[in-house]
Amino acid sequence: MQPDPTDSPGHPVGGTWRGRWLDGRVPQLSPPPDAGPSGQRGPVDDAFVEAVLAVVERVPPGCLVTYGDVAELVGRGGPRQVAAVMSRAGAPVAWWRVVRADGRLADPVRERAVPELLAEGVLVRDGRVDLARHRWRPDASSWT
């Protein structure tokens, strides 16, 4: 029996790379432990996943955003929920353009992120990027 190629990370399903999330094969995530008893940050649902991936798609090459920036642009959630989405998004998304608030690259993906960032002209030193230089701040009037 051949393995199902759609089970590989980043493989498009249902005509879109978001299909892995939207076809129900990836379980829903609950709020992070620090979200409080009411889950103020809200669960990671399909609409949140779509919104996060849409923001990341718009980040230009050579520019960076933090997990918190993405949550702010989406209008809900927090850095942990954005990180949960990004950890499952797959190769078609420029996941390497999303970093921690202090400019550090996430440990599990650092080795894969560095060549991608260098190819886009982003200097990486000791596992960190210069957010002051490369942070993407979209014009609010163009963000609709």
**CA-CA distance, 133 to 62, in Å (whole number)?**
10
With respect to residue 4, please indicate whether it lies within any of the assigned structural domains: no
Give the number of domains in the chain: 1
Asked whether residue 6 is assigned to any structural domain, the reply reads: no
Range of the domain at 125: 16-137
CATH of the domain at 53: 1.10.10.10
Assessment of whether the complete model's pTM goes beyond 0.75? no
> 29 lies in a domain?
yes
pLDDT at position 109 is: 87
In a domain, 3, yes or no: no
CB 65 within 8 A of CB 85: no
Task: Please give the average pLDDT of every successive group of 10 residues along the chain, which has 144 residues.
Answer: 39 39 41 42 78 94 96 93 86 89 91 95 95 89 60
